Structure formats: C-alpha cells, structure tokens
Structure 1
Amino acid sequence: MVDGVDVFYRASLASPGAPVMTHLHGFGLSGRYLLPTAELLADEFLTYVPDLPGFGRSGRPRDVLDVPDLAHAAARFLDDRGVRSTTLVGNSMGCPVICEFAHRYPERLDRAVLVSPAGGIQNQPLRRAIGQLTKDGRREPAKMLSVATPDYLRFGVPSTVRLFRALTRYPTLERLLELSLPTLVVLGDRDPLLPGAERIREVAGQTDNHVLVVIIEGAAHAINFSHPGELAHAIRLFMRDEPIVDDPDSPGTASVYEIHRGTLHPQAKPKPDGGGAPGG
C-alpha cells in the first residue's frame, strides 16, 4: 500500500547486501516491458519493478498523479520495502520521474540511468506525441504490441490527457541539468520521440554533471524491451565504473560519448569493420 493505493510490483531475490536497483516505466505503461532488462541484472542487484499508482496492475488514486506525485510514490514504495537508497533505471516518462526523485530525495539516489528520456518540448502537443508513438510502434518488436496495448487500454484516454497536460508543465530540462550524480543516458538512433542531434548537443553543453551517453544503433524508444542485452551490458559496466563497450553477443551496436561542458566527446571511434569499438 502506497498512500492508500495498492501497488503491484515484481522483485528479484539477491544475496544479502546486494545494491538495490529500481526500474520505472513510461507513460501509460506498466513495468512489464522493463522485465527483459531487469531480469538480466537481477543476479547482481536486488531488483524492483513496480507499476506506479494508476498504471498497470496497481490501484488507481483518486486523481491522476503528476511527475512530482509519481516521484513521491516511488519513494513511498521504497519506504515500504525498507530501501534507503537505490539506483533508478527509467524509460521514457520514467526519466522525468527520476529527475524529480533526485531533486526531492538526493540522498536516496545512488546513480541514475535515463533510457530514452521523454516529456519535453519535442513531444508536445499531444497530437505530435501520438504521431511519434505511432511511428515508434512500427519500429518496435511485434511482441511489444501485445505488452503495451493492454496497458494503454487500462490507463485510458482521460488519464492520458490529464497526465500529458501535467507533463507539459513539468520543468524537465531544469531538473535534468540539476542532476549531480553519476548518470548514464541511453538513446536509440531510431527513436522518433527524441530531438535531433543538435538539440542533444545543446542540452549536453549546459550540464556540469558527469554524464555518459550511449547510443544504440538500431534501437527505437523501448530499448529495455527491444535491446535488453545491450542495455543491461552498458548498465552493468556503468555500475562498476568500467569503460562501456559494445556487447558483441547482443543486437545493436553501442557508441559511447562522454559529456564535457560544451560538447560531446566520443570515447572511441568505430572499428573499420563496423563493429563495436573498445569504448563504443
């Protein structure tokens, strides 16, 4: 129970003392599509994948929760599980929720992994976001449709409209630039919901935070579902403070960049044969 609402969640068993990793889903969805990546990391981390209140199999609060409300709900869920601090892995709308969590509870967040961040100007107005999601649907694995459709239908049109309005009022960029902890950003080069490369460089140039950006070739928006091996590999290396390299056994090629004030610097150039580089 989180503030009077039943919260459905999935959890892994881990060895005593294992660090905690919590996965936060996107707009209108449940945590189900995050499982392919979460399961690959469950051997090293005590893993939680909740359906936030109002989503998936969790109960509905009286009013649709906005981004600060969802960050509060995530913190209350962790309170209920006895978790003092965690690494948060978010996809899409889960990324603004992580940014708000970091703003409100900085002492409780170890690291942040932002996968396909969404919710900014690039995704407004609503008809534009719907068009982007439609285009993305054609780029995701066919199985994603069977996972996402029941979630969207359950979430409903009225909730979609109210939450989207709340997202347009949320200071996503301001909160993103406030981050002051190790941060991994993972993007797909076929994601229609993301801004262009110039906008990404512009945002990157405004942060003083230490950020690694991984671009997975061939991935669209739901990377946690479509490219779990590549994503889990990058997260695992990030958590170990090891150089992030491409996983040759997983679909997609990862290119890695470090953000420094004013620009993006590639860690390594692709190999002549087109494979993953020693830093990319």
Structure 2
Amino acid sequence: MTAGGHGYRPVRMGRLESQWTTVHGLSMHARVSIGSVPPDAPRVVLVHGVGISSRYMVPTAVRLAPDYRVFAPDLPGFGKSVKPPHVLNVRELADALRAWMDLNDVHEAVLIGNSLGCQIISDLAVRYPQYVLRAVLQGPTVDPQGRTWRQQLVRWLRDSQREPPSQAVIMLRDYRAAGLRRVIRTFQYTLDDRIEERLPRMRNPTLVVRGTRDPIIPQRWAEEATRLLPNGKLVVIPGATHTINYAAPLEFVRVLRPFIDGACSHLPEAGA
C-alpha cells in the first residue's frame, strides 16, 4: 500500500517537556507531551535508533501530542540519559525500556520505532506482549541480506545524502554525547541481532513503514518483514528516506493516526 497526500486535515502541534526517571539506579531522560487529552487516549512511545537520541523524534511527537499521551525516551547511554557501565545490547535496551514503562505506568502502549528502535520493540513485543498494544516498525533494521559493516555503511552514506542537513547536526551531536565506543558497539549489537527470527512471534497488530528513497531498507526486505508478521501491514511513503519520523513527519502522522486509533484496515490509499 502506498500512502497518498491529498485530502488530509491540518495537523495541530503539541508541546513536550523533559522528564527524568531513575531506572536500575540510572537516570533516564524522556520527552513527554503536556496538555489535556481524553482519558482513554492511547499512549504512544517513540523508540529511537542507533547512537541518536529522541531529539529526532520531536517532529513526529509534537504532531501526535494533541491527541495522544506521547513519550519519547532516551535509552540508557544516549541523549540526556546516564551512561551505564557497559554498552547495552538489544535485549538489555528492551529490558530498560520495559522498566522505564513500568515506572511511568505506561502499559498496553502503541510503540513506534525507527531503525534499531524496531529491533528493540520486536524484542519487547515477543517477551513482554502485554506492553505492546500495537507496533509500528519504521525502517526496520537489519536487512538479512545486508548484515555486514561494509554493506550498512554504504547504505548509510547513500541515505545521509538524502536526509535534511539539520538531521546531520542532530546525529553528530548525539553521537558525540554517546561516545564513539558506545555507538560502534551498539551498531555491532544491531548487526548481530536477528529481528527476522522474532517477527513471526509478534502477535500484536504491526505496521511496517518504508520510504521509497530509503537505501537502508530495500522494498524486498520491507515486504519480507511484513510477510513474516502474523498480523502485519506495509505502507510505503513516496519520496521518504530512512528517518521518516524526522524528514517527513506530516506524511508519517497521516499513516499513524488511523493505525493508532485501531483502524488498520482504513489506512489511506494512494491519492485518497
């Protein structure tokens, strides 16, 4: 399915504030929406990718904030969160996210991830399904046919030329804050992780989202990942890159809203 761009209502903008939570003795930072939403509004958790913080989730978060309770945590070691003594692998990052959700009373949430965030969400959904009401895997890594440093670096360089220049500023700042060792080690954990082995065990409704200009996630892999999911659906956004959450938030939110609200079968068609 391809997401079109016509007949969509204007998107209101919400506000976020910083919040700190002590998780396993370490302070975790999160950007949290403020303002009144209906008491039964879904809770939405945005999960960032490798080395970067929740900062690049802000364009999507503020567009969801008027209607949902939105949380965008910095996972341990990244952004404003404290660095743990060792670099956490995918499973440990998922455990930290689960603990943070517990402490903030965020259960049965809609989890939206980009890149490595998708791997973390898939791990959480398989081991702790009660936390994941619905999942959005936007640009899910790693393509099994591209699981080498060289392949990923080539794809990443291609994508970086297509992303907004402002994203490079955020990325470099966040990489510097995390430290080179942590970024490299986390990337290795990303390559070692086998998301394709977990996807068939994700029972919750799951939306896979890909941009047509994303060289990191080929269409072939996006389709394969969707087929592996027992309850999956694929939406392709024309012209979008790997970080749709930052570079194309309007189009992304258009796809997200009906899915968050439970209307997966009514996602917008091309030209709708």
Q: What band does the TM-score fall into relative to the shorter chain? A: 0.7 to 0.9
**Aligned CA distance change for structure 1 residues 108 and 200 (closer, same or farther; 3 Å):** closer
CA distance in 1: counterparts of 2:208 and 2:142, whole angstroms: 15
1:149 to 151, 172, 181: 172
Paired position in structure 2 for 1:273 = none
Paired position in structure 2 for 1:264 = none
How far is the alpha carbon of 1:218 from its aligned partner? 0.7
Matches within 5 A, 1:1-280: 1-13=22-34, 14-15=36-37, 16-195=39-218, 197-207=219-229, 209-240=230-261, 241=263, 243-245=266-268, 276-278=270-272
Gaps of 5+ in 2: 1-21
CA distance in 1: counterparts of 2:131 and 2:248, whole angstroms: 28
Report the residue type matching 1:19 in the other structure: P
Paired-residue identity, %: 35
How far is the alpha carbon of 1:74 from its aligned partner? 0.7
**Aligned CA distance change for structure 1 residues 95 and 202 (closer, same or farther; 3 Å):** closer
How far is the alpha carbon of 1:70 from its aligned partner? 0.7
The alignment partner of 1:153 has SS state of: helix
CA distance in 2: counterparts of 1:94 and 1:52, whole angstroms: 10
CA distance in 2: counterparts of 1:38 and 1:215, whole angstroms: 20
CA distance in 2: counterparts of 1:108 and 1:221, whole angstroms: 26
How far is the alpha carbon of 1:145 from its aligned partner? 1.4
Q: C-alpha deviations, 1:30-51, integer Å up to 9, x for none?
A: 0000110111111111110010
How far is the alpha carbon of 1:77 from its aligned partner? 0.7
Q: Is the 8 A contact 2:208 2:222 kept in 1?
A: no
CA distance in 1: counterparts of 2:242 and 2:224, whole angstroms: 21
How far is the alpha carbon of 1:169 from its aligned partner? 2.6
**Length, aligned pairs only:** 247
**Aligned CA distance change for structure 1 residues 277 and 109 (closer, same or farther; 3 Å):** same
Which range moved further: 133-142 or 20-29?
Answer: 133-142
**Aligned CA distance change for structure 1 residues 57 and 160 (closer, same or farther; 3 Å):** same
Gaps of 5+ in 1: 246-255, 257-275
CA distance in 1: counterparts of 2:237 and 2:227, whole angstroms: 21
CA distance in 1: counterparts of 2:143 and 2:223, whole angstroms: 15
How far is the alpha carbon of 1:177 from its aligned partner? 1.9
Paired position in structure 2 for 1:269 = none
CA distance in 1: counterparts of 2:45 and 2:220, whole angstroms: 31
CA distance in 2: counterparts of 1:200 and 1:18, whole angstroms: 29
How far is the alpha carbon of 1:171 from its aligned partner? 2.2
CA distance in 2: counterparts of 1:113 and 1:99, whole angstroms: 10
Report the residue type matching 2:109 in the other structure: T
Q: Is the 8 A contact 1:91 1:222 kept in 2?
A: yes
Q: Give the TM-score, by structure 2 length.
A: 0.85
User: RMSD of the alignment, in Å?
Assistant: 1.6
The alignment partner of 1:220 has SS state of: coil
How far is the alpha carbon of 1:122 from its aligned partner? 4.1
**Aligned CA distance change for structure 1 residues 2 and 138 (closer, same or farther; 3 Å):** same
Q: Is the 8 A contact 2:196 2:228 kept in 1?
A: no
Paired position in structure 1 for 2:17 = none
Q: Is the 8 A contact 1:21 1:89 kept in 2?
A: yes
Greater relative contact order structure (CA < 8 Å, 6+ sep): 2
Q: Give the TM-score, by structure 1 length.
A: 0.83
CA distance in 1: counterparts of 2:54 and 2:103, whole angstroms: 18
